[in-house]
Amino acid sequence: MTPAGSGARRTRARTEVRLLTPDDAGPLARLLSGDWGFLAPFEPERDPAHFTAAGQAELVERLLAEHAAGRTVPFAIVHEGELVGRSTLSNVVRGPAQHADLGYFVAEAVNGRGVATEAVARTVEAAFGELGLHRLQAGTLLSNSASQAVLQRNGFERIGVARGYLRIAGRWQDHVLYQRTA
């Protein structure tokens, strides 16, 4: 094992995903308010409540209700014991599709260490393992090379460009769509 290889292995061992819990609301509010300058170009516009513990508690409650209904699987990304982001399977469709959309973000302080790559790997494992899904789709802004690298390293293939796909940072923006099948 090369030094770089053993380093990568240590990073992997330190990053995991687990189902979001109501206790995550406070840490999520702190992360989002502290890192909004970094995250805002990749996110929808948000109300001020989004950055408060109460607002995040409401969001977590909604996501867990959607989870109970089988529509969403919201994961906390935990790195060295700290909540550093979220990874979410949404729009879960059963029947012949067995599909979900994948989204994620990671705190600026731990960017560039393989955290998102590992979190997406764990999310994909859950999706194709215990959840029995067949296909995951993710969209990135055309300029979001970091996110594209995360998807490519996790075996996602590029589908193409969807014009005006999501309203991000206040504008309907083109996205590159990626998919991976089980």
Closer residue to ligand COA in complex, CB, 65/162: 162
The dihedral sign for the CA sequence 128, 142, 107, 166: negative
C-alpha of 137 from chain center? 12
Residue 109 binding ligand COA, by CB under 6 A: no
Residue 182, SS3? coil
Edge-first strand listing for the sheet containing 82-93: 15-19, 73-79, 82-93, 99-106, 135-141, 171-181, 157-168
Identity at 60, one-letter amino acid code: V
**How many binding residues for ligand COA (CB under 6 A)?**
19
Residue 144 binding ligand COA, by CB under 6 A: yes
Residue 105 binding ligand COA, by CB under 6 A: yes
**Residue selected from 49, 149, 162, 182 as contacting ligand COA according to rule CB under 6 A:** 149
Footprint on residues 52-91 left by ligand COA (CB under 6 A)? none
Applying CB under 6 A, the residues found at the interface with ligand COA are: 39, 42, 104-106, 111-117, 140, 144-147, 149-150
